[in-house]
Every structure is written in C-alpha cells, then in structure tokens.
Chain A
C-alpha cells in the first residue's frame, strides 16, 4: 500500500501527516470551521464537542505541501514520525527516505518526490475537479503522474481502491461520513488491526458499503485523531552493538515486536519496492508487512480527555461505593483459604497503589516497563480463585481486564469458571477461530497470539502460567502484553515455577510478590523420593524392568492410585507400555505423546479413571488433575527435565482433599542439580507454609517436611 505525505500549517505550527485519500485532508483543513457549519452538522453537536481539540483544528489549515505521488506506506510512516517542522521539501524528504531505506533512490525516481503547494483558493475553486481526479487515482499536480517503477507496468502500481466516490465538499455527505468514521473509531478502540481486519470489522458490523470506502473512513478518523495509522513493520533504532558506535536502524514488527532476524524481504507489487520486508514471526495472524496498514484505535484517550470525563468520574464514584462493600474482605466473597486470602490482599494492595509507587525499579516493571506483581503459588494452590478478587476490584472501577494463558485448552477450561464467577460481566473468549473476535467485553480471556490484536486496551493484565509459554515466544509475549496494556495499567503474573531471572529479582526484593506456599487443602506438598535406577534405555534393550520400580508401582496400584509415568523420549513410549503390560497383565495401561492423534481421548479416559497408568512425555506436565495419583519420573537426571518441569510433574500428585499425600519418585542414576533444585523448592515452600501456620495441625505432626 502507498500513501501521500504532507505538511500543513495551522497558525504558526506545522503538522506532518500521511494520507490514504488526500481529498479528505484537503476538505478537513480547508473546509468550513467547526461550528460554522449549521444545519446537519449542528444536530450532531454532542459528538463534535466530544472530539475536542482535534475537532477544533478543522478548517484552520493555512497552507498544505504534499508529495505529487504516493510513496510506500512504510516510508511515509517513517517520514511523518521523523518530520520535525517546516514545510515538506524534497531534499529533507529524500534524506529521511534514505535513512529508512539506504537503497531507496535506486528504485524511486526523483520526479515522484516533488512537492506541490496546495493553496486554499486552489481547492475551493476546483473542488469538483479535484474529486474527479482522485477517483482515477492519478494525481495531476503538474508533474508526470507515472507511478513508481513498481511491477514493470506503470499503471498497475497505483490503484485507488477503497475510496469514497462522492463529493466530499457536500456538507451533508461530509457530516454523515464523519459519523461513520466516529462509529468505526469507537468500535475499534483499543485494537491493533491490519487493513484486511478493518475491512472484516466493517462487513461484520453492518457497514458492508462502508467497507468499500474504508480508506476514506480510516483517513477521516486519522485526521481527527481518533486512530493512529502505522505500517506493520516500522524503522526503529537498533540497540547499540558496541559502545561509542553509531546506532543502526532496523525494522521491527509493530504487531509482534520481532526484529530483523525474523523478517524476509521480497519484491512487492502492492508498494512497488523490490525488497519490502514482511514478518515471519506472526505470519499465522495475517501478514504484517512494511507497506501494510496497521491501525491503532486510540479514540478512548481522545474522548476521555474531552467531555467524556464526566462518565469516568461517575464510574469512579460508583466504584468507591461498591469497593467498600467487597474489596475489604475478598476471602469471604470468594471462599478463599487463609493463604489464598493473604496473597490476594497483597496483590490488591499493589493494585491500589498509585502508579509511581507501584513500580519504581526496572524489575518491578517486569522487564516490560509495566508495574508487575508476581503471585508465586504452588501447584494446586487454586490460582484461579485468587485472581477473582483482583478482577472484581478492576471491574468495580470500570476497568478492563485481560487474562492471557499460553494454550487454547486452558482458555476453554477457564472460560466457564470465569463466566460463573462474574455473571454480570461480559466475557470474551479469544483463540484462533473464536467467534468472540469483535466482542467488546469487560473481561477478555485470550491466548498469547490474540493479544497482538490489541493496543492500549486493558487496565489489568493477568498472565497465567508465565513459565509455560514456549521459550522463543517469551519476547513476543512480553511485547504483545505490554502493547495490549494501557500505559498506566498493571501486570499480575501467575506461576508455580517462575523462571530463574524472576526468582532472582524476588530474592533481591526488586519484584513485588506474594507466595502461596500451600495447597487449598492445607496439606504439605509431597516431597519427591529418590529411586536409583539405570537409564531406561538399558531396561528397554533388556526387555525387563528393574525390581525396585516394579515394587514401587505395585505399592501405588494396590493403594488404588492412578500412576503418571513421565519419560523423556517419544519413541520410548510404546516399548515401555508393552513392557508394563507384561508386568501388569490385568491393568489398563496407556501411553501418549505429542505425536499421538488420540491424545485427547486417552487423557479423558485417564481422567475418568478408566485407564490406571499413563506413560507420557512432558506434554502432560501441567493442567491435568487426577484426584488420587502417584508420579514416577524416569530418567529424571535427563537434561530435558529442568527444575521447573520436575516441580510441575511432582505437582500432579496429592491434589485432592481425599488423598493429599501422593508419592513422587525421581528415578535416575544420578542426583543432579535440577532434581536437587526441585526438591529444595518444594521443601522450602513447605517450610514457609508451616512457619506461617497455613498447614493443618494433623499434617504438621505427620512428617514429610
């Protein structure tokens, strides 16, 4: 996509803007002043007043300097971001373009970069003619209207699709267009959408005909300050590689935050560039490209600042009234245990702090620049219940809440529980292919990827199972979460096994946190026991299992528990299942892995208790809850198991009140750091729990800590 760039003088101030449809801009800057137009627009006074300052800009343009032909959107965005002051002039324009793309002059002709001054008199005299010209998509500003040497054929490079065909100088049409643009801007408030997603929004919201002139509408919303127009990939300064050297510029994906390493440059017929970059990291969400339009809905900031402040104030007053009713006693309303209640209160206290106090150290800003709070709760502590008071707190203040989880099945599991807890609030459940895509809701439950479609939307962002996000996604998640959160918003991070870096920040007191060291049933976590065995590979070759393992398994079976057996390699699953079936001929035993197509059914059968023993890889290390279960981890000294996954797997045992003390076995030939670390984490949590008096007195007497 390509856009025009222009600067306009308002009073003694110069403003640089880009344009998808420059007729809109001319009408806006040179049209009637706001308030002068009577009649139709007068009726619409309420809305106009809310638009405040930008609305007042209308009709106040003195002179406009515009490029004679359109330039690729990525470059246009860079120019508008970097233009300091003064009218547009070719020399400075070319310098900026070369900053963004050093090779730009090899594929752009100088003639295309000429600037034309458009005076108020010109426009008013020939409004009709201007509009005819624009429909053809050719600028007649004197200089040759050849498009850039795009795809070989001159006239194919520049096509104006999606512009409005009527006369913009007609006051009635102009007024109705403005209403549609406002409706659009309010609808996509807080979202970050690519051009095709915008068209999708228009068609699914009863504005099918508006989708045909979406460029005109987007431009009209932009010029009034209701949306931001960006390109998918933008030029940014790269972090300095060596001290003292000049900073390089690099492309970043504005949607997922990826850097040059995950971009690919290809020839592009849409903007005419021989090397237009696109982002491979978020390709599955629709292609983000250097020349594709990315809209950020920023209407709320605009509307809240002018006039609409009244409703916000009312909301706060109402919230204050309600807050006294509930927030003081979260435990009572949500039936939290003592430990859960204490952690919840600490988090609530964090939310109530003013922004400056909440995060004045970089770590407290979670590395993402947003004040963060870590809820470090052991496996099976009931994390979901703990966030309910926080959600309620935000809802009482008319704030929007986002809960981000790593996986789609977690979203589907969490949705009914949230809907039940907050029956009066709308809940949008977002995952790939979800139908709630456009729903405007107080609570949003989303997978990581869907987060990318938001921009400054949420006041409270809760990130569930922080460490379960795949490693390479981490940076993407951080970027997307920060983007979705309002500048003055807060993060709540939930984890049973925070990453090392975060644990260090906690120890050094740089990250505010609360620990929930005990499960909801007030019994200590089962501490893993050691069982020294040779590597599983040897037993499989010998086709016989070691007697200590058989004995331990028999003990678990006879006490009526279901058994998880975690192993490291997918190809060992089937041989081990065969071997186990030989040893326990009458027992239903199954094995599954990420390559298994019947995985879901097998997990359901295990949950229902139909199968008694399940051999699996780390894929089931979290999420599956079995009331009475024992856990065996074979080859626990493997490099594939780190301390976090060992803690998670050990956390599958002893989840229910009926059987609070399951058995966990680390079967390995050596006792390595990861195992020591995992055991140390579990025992230290148990120690904290005992010290704070969270444990049942009966279980305290029982040893195991």
Chain B
C-alpha cells in the first residue's frame, strides 16, 4: 500500500525538469540551450578542449555569479602575477626569489574569500571541481607566455604546498593537493609530493607581512624519497648522472598568494634538488587567488 502511495506521490514530478541551484548564491539556474559554457572566462582553445572532456564545473554557477568573478586578465608584475604594481617583488630582490614567476587565476576578493572559506574551513567539497578548474585559466596563461621555439613549454611535474599532519587530520584534506590533482586530471602532468612541512605555523591569515616572512624559515624541506620519486616518475633513470639533463620544470600549487613567502620557501627547498640531479630546476608557481 505504501508503495503505491509513494508511486502516486512521485507521479507529478516524474517529467519535471531537474532544477539546479547555483553553488554560490543558491538561486535556481535558468539557462538557454545554446549557453556558452566559457562565457566571461578568460580562455584559450586548449582550455575549452580540456573542459569539454568532462562535465564543466562552471555549470554549477548561475550567470550572475559566473560574470562577477574577479579574473586577473592583465598582469602588471611579471614575477608575482599581480594585476597592480607590486612592491613585494622588488623589495625581495632577484637573488632571493627562487621561483620564476607566479600566476593566479583570480584576485582575492571578498566573494572569493567566502568561496575558499566554504571549501577549506567549512569543508564544503562541492566547491573543489570549480576552484580546481579555475586554476586552468592561470595554467594556460602561463603556458601561453612561456614559449620556446614557438612551442609552449611543457611542465615535468606538479607538486603542492604541504600542510602539517595535524592540520591534515583536522581538515581531512590538503586543499593545494586537491587543486594539484584536479589540474592533473585536466592536463595529465604527474603530481609528485616533493615537500613536507616540518613545523606547525599559526594560521597565515592572522599574521602581518613581516611576521610571515620570518615565520617561513625552514618550515619546508624535501620529502625523504622525493629524489627517487622524481626519478621514477619522470623516467630519468636511463640518463647517467654525468650527462647534462635538460632543465626540469616544476609547477608548484597553492591556494592563495599573499606575500609570496610560502611559495618562495617551498621553491627554495625545491631548488636543492638541482644538486642531486645535476641539472637546473625551474619552478613556476600557480595559485588560485592573488591577494
């Protein structure tokens, strides 16, 4: 009897279209059939192709939210990828910058802050596909800028900024790692955990600029088996240590770039790899937001 009752109750909704609500503002999404999926997103053909391979995460947003995203379209500081002039990079000086450049997808606006907070602190992992694929815009921008012999540069591996074990326990995931894995899913570049965090630092968002830079000393170091991992995953074994290898390009992923101290500390540790490998290591950083 109950079965028939349930069946009867579900009849009117049987043919109704499924209403999807916007991930960010929770309003119903009204969209025409010929909707352009990458409307308003800085995109390249390669990115459109990559997005087409699976369900497009930008479909989770309504048009209003999609159009209000603070994409970084023009870059003023070639080092840190800021859309405005940048005192930090000139202050640090070229000698102490261990990475080549940083590119971020969006500016860290209040709305983006809310999104990251929902994902990172509240644990709403529905945001991951969206935030992860936002990195694609920065990735293709970076590829477009760096060409060698008119061919886009290829990156050998992706690595990410680690979190401390206790933070990982508390949160259940490392957001930078998740971003890296999303990027891997789109581009196929292998993800290797090269770094480890030695020390628990206080939450970055609570500190001033000077504190952050001081605080970052010796926080990161190379993972014990990072060399072996790099060798095996990149098939470097057949080359002897004597021959000069081509430079290895590493993409370093993090969520937010503020002063660059985290990224720089990681890059410093990563650059130590060049001694063992007898080749140069080129590190580019890819972050989701630039504050």
Contact = CB atoms under 8 A, between A and B. Distances in A.
A289 B169 contact: no
A611 interface: no
Interface of B: 3, 122-126, 165-166, 168-174, 193
Interface in A279-321: 280, 283-284, 286-287, 289
Interface stretch (A151-159, A404-412, A445-453): A151-159
Nearest to A595: B27
B122 A284 contact: yes
B173 A152 contact: no
A367 to B, nearest CB: 15
Nearest to A153: B193
A156 B122 CA distance: 22
B112 to A, nearest CB: 19
Q: Report the 4 A-B pairs with minimum CB-CB distance, sorted nearest first.
A: A287-B123, A270-B172, A268-B172, A269-B168
A159 B166 contact: yes
B124 A156 contact: no
A278 B126 contact: no
Contacts, number: 48
B169 A264 contact: no
Given A152-B193, A242-B3, A243-B3, A270 B169 contact: yes
A276 interface: yes
B125 A156 contact: no
| Most chain B CB inside 10 Å of its own CB: which residue of A243, A287, A289 | A287
A225 B162 CA distance: 40
A276 B172 contact: yes
Contacts of B122: 283-284, 286-287
A547 B69 CA distance: 47
A567 B122 CA distance: 37
Nearest to A285: B122
Contact of B165 (A159, A267, A276): A159
Nearest to B196: A153
A152 B168 CA distance: 13
Interface residues of A, number: 25
A156 B170 CA distance: 12
Tell me if A's interface is mostly helix, strand, loop or mixed: loop
26 contacts: A1-B169, A156-B165, A156-B168, A159-B165, A159-B166, A159-B169, A161-B166, A242-B3, A243-B3, A264-B125, A266-B125, A266-B172, A268-B172, A268-B173, A269-B168, A269-B171, A269-B172, A270-B172, A278-B123, A278-B125, A280-B124, A283-B122, A284-B122, A287-B122, A289-B123, A289-B172
B173 A269 contact: yes
Contacts of A270: 168-172
A93 B115 CA distance: 41
Interface in A142-189: 151-153, 156, 159, 161
A161 B169 contact: yes
A159 B163 CA distance: 14
Interface of A: 1, 151-153, 156, 159, 161, 196, 241-243, 264, 266-270, 276, 278, 280, 283-284, 286-287, 289
Nearest to B128: A266
Contacts of B126: 264, 280
Given A264-B125, A266-B125, 18 more contacts: A151-B168, A153-B193, A156-B165, A159-B165, A159-B166, A161-B166, A241-B3, A243-B3, A268-B172, A269-B172, A269-B173, A270-B169, A270-B172, A278-B125, A283-B123, A284-B122, A287-B123, A289-B172
A283 B124 contact: yes
A269 B174 contact: yes
Nearest to B173: A269
B173 A267 contact: yes
Contacts of A156: 165, 168
A291 to B, nearest CB: 8
Contacts of A243: 3
B8 to A, nearest CB: 15
A153 B174 CA distance: 14
Given A278-B123, A280-B126, A283-B124, A266 B173 contact: yes
Contacts of B174: 269
Nearest to B168: A269
Contacts of A153: 193
Nearest to A195: B170
